[in-house]
Amino acid sequence: MDIEKSRILIVDDEKINLKFLADLLQEDYTAMLARDGRKALQLARQTPQPDLILLDVAMPGMTGFEVIKELKHDDETKHIPIIFVTAMDSTEQEEEGLKLGAVDYITKPISPPIVKMRVRNYLDMQHKYKLLEQKANLDGLTEIPNRRFFEEVLGREWQRGKRNGSSLSVAMLDIDFFKQYNDHYGHQKGDIALQTVARNITYSLKRAPDYVGRYGGEEFVILMPETPLKPALIVAERIRSGIEGLKIPHACSSVSLHLTVSIGVSTSNDYTESGPQVLIQRADQNMYKAKQSGRNQVSGG
């Protein structure tokens, strides 16, 4: 099976420089090319995003310094590392670029071995950093995103929805009578049940943008970007029935002989509200409505 290559965005207004760097790196990486700053911003915001940007400083229309300012002020692109490639031999220029967020400088005329080594070393370091970051963002038991990281993703999707004017839906899920389950079957069985529910929710989400996190205890939260209320309710019902269909015995439940969940759904189209926590609060309220109405059901509005 082929291993996906790291993506490098090369930005230079000189065609010969683009070709030189692309030819130099294409054996080991996937090269994305831009001849001006606006095109660079467009490619940086695409999915999948580049893993590294090699950015020329002196370009007409929009300089490399202007490009990096825009990238670093955008939550979607601020994490992408940038190496400036420049013919300038000025300590002041280099200091300015590093202050703006560049991780390194490569000077022209370009030395192929130096470019290859710096790119490889930096991407290796990034890979190790991402592994550590991913581990810190996961819930230790269920191995799905934890609450802190979920709220970061929610904040980004809120801003994206605000820009695009699209619907954003959230579902809050709680396992019915989970304390009684733990008391009766023991915490080891309870942990296994939490892991099974987390996997089932993940498998029930059919779209790549949809996202699940463990919110705490037996509560899970599902994020559905660009999803109006009606489709979000359909997804929530699929999750509810899927978990019920697992037929995990629950002798102490007054709802069913098996483990069940209650789910509340909330959708926002009005981004004049105070922030994404409003969505969470409404989904939580709807989840309690589902509980008050008998549990093992979905409530939303």
pLDDT in tens, 223-260: 999 999 999 999 999 999 999 999 999 999 999 999 99
The predicted structure's pLDDT at residue 247 = 97
Cα 251 from Cα 247, distance rounded (Å): 11
Contact, 41 vs 67, CB < 8 A?
yes
The predicted structure's pLDDT at residue 219 = 98
Task: Please give the CATH topology (third level) of the domain spanning 147-300.
Answer: Alpha-Beta Plaits (3.30.70)
- Which among 76, 94, 218, 244 is annotated as catalytic? 218
The predicted structure's pLDDT at residue 301 = 77
| Nearest residue to 83 via CA among 46, 125, 42, 39 | 125
Contact, 222 vs 239, CB < 8 A?
yes
β-partners of residue 56 are 85
92 given a catalytic annotation? no
pLDDT in tens, 127-173: 887 777 777 899 989 999 999 999 999 999 998 898 888 999 999 99
The predicted structure's pLDDT at residue 289 = 97
The predicted structure's pLDDT at residue 2 = 44
Contact, 297 vs 265, CB < 8 A?
no
Strand, helix or coil at 147?
Answer: helix
Ranges of residues in the chain with a pLDDT under 70 are: 1-3, 89
Specify the CATH superfamily of domain 7-137: Response regulator (3.40.50.2300)
Cα 31 from Cα 21, distance rounded (Å): 9
Cα 121 from Cα 205, distance rounded (Å): 36
Distant-in-sequence, close-in-space partners of 67: CB < 8 Å, separation ≥ 6: 11, 37, 40, 41, 55
Domain ranges of the chain: 7-137, 147-300
Start-to-end CA span in the chain (Å): 45
